[in-house]
A and B are shown apart, each in its own frame.
Chain A
């Protein structure tokens, strides 16, 4: 089942399948290239470590490093939950 990265609970992992385009337009090449360059390519395993309070950013563990990711961005990353 494909779900946005934000719906993973703390400690859960998933595999990135795709990245949705920004519904409000924009968020084009630059945004998307940046995600790729930070290692969030399709097929990559990510683990949600923590979610900041008040719908803040999420902390993920990916490719051996810790990343903070804005929530809006994270909702557009679709993952397959791994249990």
Chain B
């Protein structure tokens, strides 16, 4: 028997447990990709239930269906154009009013709907009890209480979903606005019914009254008279209320959401503050907020670096250990060199970064995010990020970048606008990653002094702030400010965190590996062709003349493009010693490290940059950083030499 196919979409605010429900429903049968042509994530999965094959799409977490962000446009276009068989609206029971505001918009979009009233345990702890039957009656849609992290109510939810589809969906009643507004909506909607638009007429009428640019354009294309009518009506509403029409409609929608919330929930004030509340107070307090944050971050870095260093060495020993074994199969020496030196070395490079550093980093990041602590960090760091024209949320990719620039670059997606994304990603490429830190500590830290290593970091930080500020001033567009919900602290859901980490790893492999392998191959070919010496000589006016380095160091810097720690490893190979103190002067080591910190994003970061922002911007940033680092290195040399401090 052929299974009947259905499509369900999960929609709701951010942090309501949507991805946990998604995980509970789909288990391992899921796939995370991007929306076609967009840098917004698309999670899809399948499940089998009562003879149905159900595709589940997890829409991005949003607060409204206007067009402020890419996520909002994607969600509403998906619901309106792709017409899923059912939308499961995940609602956070502990913040009912805000969530219902979104539910009301879904109802207005006339989409078939059921509600998962999630996190009722958190609501209960806050003293909130919700009469879900009454809520269902008022809204005219099924409401199923759930505690997704514990799997409670998931089966009921699925059962109710299928039942709703089988029974045939009754269109729930939308909210009624004030009489003077309703009258106008009806007039415009009547005109819209005459033209052919993919959206429901009443919804379209409301949207153009609200001044939604995208819908306005579509209506204008079909019939400009309707738009003129709507604008006239909007002005009338403005005259009556003294606020813009959009404000009036949004207010009324919130009014209704609030009224429903008050009708269905009973709040018993809890006498003792909950654990979540106490955690919130401490983690954002004037006295303890920053020390706690510092402590948390230091321990994370310490843990990741210790683990990463250990695991990285282990993996690389293991992989290089397989060389004699592989050698047996390759007889042709040139081919062997190419395959080993190019392809396999490239894979090793990728694996020794991805597994030891990226996986734990993501894992911890998602734990922090899911628990709610990340939004507190964003709150605390808003002031600092403001100095470079970004807001608190940008601190998250910045923090990631200290581990690896690749996930950080992709992590810039959390910023709302394209401008912020680009600015954040630019700053991210300047931040020394774990590998760079290894180089700085291993060269300057070990053979010059730890103070000089520290000084290099301070200089780097100053440069990041300066360049960030310049970019902020020069980039067109308006800066946005922090506006973020801080949800309750909660236990992270381990399985969801693991699956998110897994998909990040997959993404990293897809983006970074091809470029890492190709560039390893190219470098190998150059080496085999005996071009190292000529290239070193060719670069010597810059490396020796301008930067005062040894001419062999140019080649090591080229290797650094593959991965930053190669600037140290190759240096040892080329110079034939790991006792750098003997062969290099302290000034050479300091300049060399300064350049390593800034001179180019590694090839994997460039790949991520291309994916997010396109070729042009990636090349521009890369070239800029190369020139900038070389310029700065030369200037530093000319300052340090006469000072005679080294």
Q: Which of A27, A52, A65, A67 is close to B483, meaning CB atoms less than 8 Å apart?
A: A67
Contact of B380 with A by CB under 8 A:
yes
Q: Which of B375-398 contact A (CB under 8 A)?
A: 375, 378-380, 382-383, 386, 391-392
Check if B95 sits within 8 Å of A42, measured CB to CB.
no
- List the B side residues contacting A26 at CB < 8 Å: 478-479
CA distance in complex: A35, B246 (Å): 12
Q: A25-38 vs B: 1/0 string, CB under 8 Å?
A: 01111110111111
Check if B247 sits within 8 Å of A41, measured CB to CB.
yes
A–B pairs, 30, beta carbons within 8 Å: A29-B211, A30-B478, A35-B483, A36-B246, A37-B64, A37-B66, A38-B63, A39-B97, A39-B98, A39-B254, A41-B250, A42-B251, A43-B251, A44-B254, A52-B380, A53-B289, A53-B383, A57-B379, A57-B382, A59-B486, A63-B97, A63-B98, A64-B98, A67-B485, A68-B378, A68-B484, A70-B382, A70-B386, A70-B392, A73-B481
- Given A28-B478, A39-B101, A56-B383; A67-B486 close (CB under 8 Å): yes
Q: Which of A33, A39, A56, A63 is close to B382, meaning CB atoms less than 8 Å apart?
A: A56
Q: Which of A36, A39, A59, A63 is close to B247, meaning CB atoms less than 8 Å apart?
A: A36
- List the A side residues contacting B483 at CB < 8 Å: 34-35, 38, 67-70, 73
Check if B375 sits within 8 Å of A68, measured CB to CB.
yes
State the interface size on chain A (CB cutoff 8 A).
37
Contact of A55 with B by CB under 8 A:
yes
Q: Which of A57-83 contact B (CB under 8 A)?
A: 57, 59, 63-70, 72-73
Distance (whole angstroms) from the CB of A69 to the closest CB of chain B: 6
| Chain B, interface residues (CB within 8 Å), range | 35 or more
Check if B97 sits within 8 Å of A50, measured CB to CB.
no
Check if A69 sits within 8 Å of B284, measured CB to CB.
no
Other A-B contacts than A52-B284, A63-B258, 8 sampled, CB-CB below 8 A, are A30-B417, A34-B483, A37-B101, A59-B379, A65-B95, A66-B485, A68-B375, A70-B482
Q: Which of B208-259 contact A (CB under 8 A)?
A: 211, 213, 243, 246-247, 250-251, 254, 258
Check if B482 sits within 8 Å of A68, measured CB to CB.
yes
Contact of B261 with A by CB under 8 A:
yes
CA distance in complex: A79, B485 (Å): 20
- Given A28-B478, A57-B482, A65-B95; A34-B68 close (CB under 8 Å): yes
Q: Which of A28, A43, A53 is close to B286, meaning CB atoms less than 8 Å apart?
A: A53
CA distance in complex: A10, B234 (Å): 38
Check if B482 sits within 8 Å of A36, measured CB to CB.
no
- List the B side residues contacting A70 at CB < 8 Å: 382, 386, 391-392, 481-483
Q: Which of A35, A54, A66 is close to B486, meaning CB atoms less than 8 Å apart?
A: A66
Chain B residue nearest to A70 (CB atoms) is: B481
Contact of B466 with A by CB under 8 A:
no
Distance (whole angstroms) from the CB of B279 to the closest CB of chain A: 13
Q: Which of B94-115 contact A (CB under 8 A)?
A: 95-98, 101
- List the A side residues contacting B577 at CB < 8 Å: none
